[in-house]
Chains A and B, each alone.
Chain A
Amino acid sequence: MTRKKDARDGLLISPIENGTVIDHITAGEALNVLRIIGITGTTTESISVATNVESKKMGTKDIVKIKNRELRKEEVDRIALIAPRASINIIRNYKVWEKKGVDIPDRVIGIVRCPNPGCISNTNEPIRSCFLVQKNGLRCLYCDWLITKDITSHII
């Protein structure tokens, strides 16, 4: 017999009519997820963020809900860099219209700054940073610098 949902459990974030719910984000990475998908303090989306939420699958997790915006596939895949277990739910009329995981992209463009101060991508040339996603980390397309850890701190 399943336990009847206790009102005290409450709803941490209210449901949205239309938009995207990003669930199973690695705990503590929600704000970086927003940066990766280009949501900053100056954008107009209505956002709800929950961090360190209890999760049976992950222990703790973060959740992000974005009202009235459906994330595109390439936006979603960037999230895999810092939250490889994230799942994306596209919501229409309060129902989950589509549910998908994230796939790690072959390359990430304009998201991560090369830590190599001598790299041409850190100058005023008309290019965007570009990293090839390899099994041992992110490799700068230009200077070959390999980022093996702490990718978050290099996000532009």
Chain B
Amino acid sequence: MRHIISVRDLSKEEIETILDDAAAIQSGSYDPSALRGKLLGLLFFEPSTRTRMSFAAAMARLGGDFLSMDSVEASSMAKGETLADTIRVVSGYVDAIVLRHPKEGAARLASEFARVPVINAGDGAGQHPSQTLLDLFTIRQSMPLEGIHVGLLGDLRYGRTAHSLAHALSLYNVTIHTITPKGLELPAGLAGELRDAGTEVVEHDDISTCVRDLDVLYVTRIQRERFPDAASYFKVASSYRVTPELLSGTRDHFIVLHPLPRVDEIDPRVDSLPCARYFEQSANGIPVRMAMLLRVMG
């Protein structure tokens, strides 16, 4: 039984295989009844639009069906049931589980109790492998992953998408530029680990000093919900904004990505620039998640 819990569990070869499969799916090469008769359980203990809907759409496009649990209030968790018990029960109903949960490590725990494959759809500030795979997929549509300069802008302390992406990028010969407000730097442990893996990590506090050296700018939202209190959030909120003026003079193949939702960190005027790829990135969630579902259930 194959779970997908963390990009740490995936080798470079496995990542490449999933990305190749996703590319084939995107070009129309897939069996629309490959998962007919299969049922996917969507367990979302945190709000989500893109991830939940794209997994549901991916399952439907492969001929399968899904059951959805969208809030803690509507589940037995509200009665005090443990996640372990919920997983044991639900894995008797479905053929695979997609889990979004506010606690870090929830998906790993789920994989220990489930009798069906588990896909991590984001756990707390931890891992979000399906997002990382679609991020890599989107970059690879524009340029090879090897040897590029990637800027990670925003909340790199709590941002799980940036953590997962940084780890996956460390499998390639990239340079990572971190651009963060004070206090939201990449956790020291992760930065050290990236350097140990041979990745050059360059720290910046101002995007304008490095944006012209980048091939990819990965913008993240400052996540209000991850801050311990409102005061610490407002201290850093609105501390950066990507504008067309900022992006003038960037490299020809330069692209801007964002896992979405955005608040005000990207000026809407950027949307019409050729480098803005965040909506394509979001749409890429379908073929990538179809490839993941086929991998665990096909």
Contacts and interface: CB of A to CB of B under 8 A. Distances in A.
Nearest to B190: A146
Interface of A: 116, 118-121, 123-127, 136-137, 140-146, 148
Given A121-B105, A143-B105, 17 more contacts: A116-B104, A118-B103, A119-B104, A120-B106, A121-B109, A124-B82, A125-B84, A125-B109, A126-B84, A127-B109, A142-B104, A142-B105, A142-B108, A143-B123, A143-B124, A144-B126, A145-B104
Given A116-B104, A118-B103, A123-B103, A146 B193 contact: yes
A121 B84 CA distance: 12
A152 B256 CA distance: 44
Contacts of B109: 120-121, 125, 127, 142
Nearest to B167: A144
A144 B24 CA distance: 32
B297 interface: no
A126 B82 contact: yes
A127 B112 contact: yes
9 contacts: A118-B125, A119-B104, A124-B82, A125-B84, A125-B109, A136-B192, A137-B189, A142-B109, A143-B105
B104 A141 contact: no
B112 A120 contact: no
B8 A118 contact: no
A143 B126 contact: yes
A112 to B, nearest CB: 14
B196 interface: yes
A141 B108 contact: yes
Nearest to A127: B109
A120 B192 contact: no
Contacts of B6: 144
Interface of B: 6, 8, 82-84, 101-106, 108-109, 112, 123-127, 189, 192-193, 196
Contacts of A141: 105, 108
Residue from B102, B123, B125 having most chain A Cβ neighbours under 10 A:
B123
Contacts of B196: 136
Q: Which 4 A-B residue pairs are closest in the complex by CB-CB distance?
A: A142-B105, A143-B104, A143-B105, A146-B189
A10 to B, nearest CB: 47
B193 A120 contact: no
A120 B103 contact: yes
B104 A118 contact: yes
B227 to A, nearest CB: 12
Contacts of A116: 104
A123 to B, nearest CB: 6
A27 B125 CA distance: 38
Given A116-B104, A120-B105, A144 B83 contact: no
A113 B64 CA distance: 41
A114 to B, nearest CB: 8
Nearest to B106: A120
A27 to B, nearest CB: 28
Nearest to A123: B103
Contacts of A125: 82-84, 109
A148 B196 CA distance: 14
B160 to A, nearest CB: 10
Nearest to B6: A144
Contacts of A144: 6, 8, 104-105, 126-127
A146 B188 CA distance: 10
A144 B123 CA distance: 11
B192 A118 contact: no
Contacts of B102: 118
B127 to A, nearest CB: 7
A116 to B, nearest CB: 6
Contacts of B123: 120, 143
Contacts of A119: 103-105
Residue from A116, A118, A140, A148 having most chain B Cβ neighbours under 10 A:
A118
Nearest to B80: A124
A150 to B, nearest CB: 13
Nearest to A114: B105
Contacts of A127: 84, 109, 112
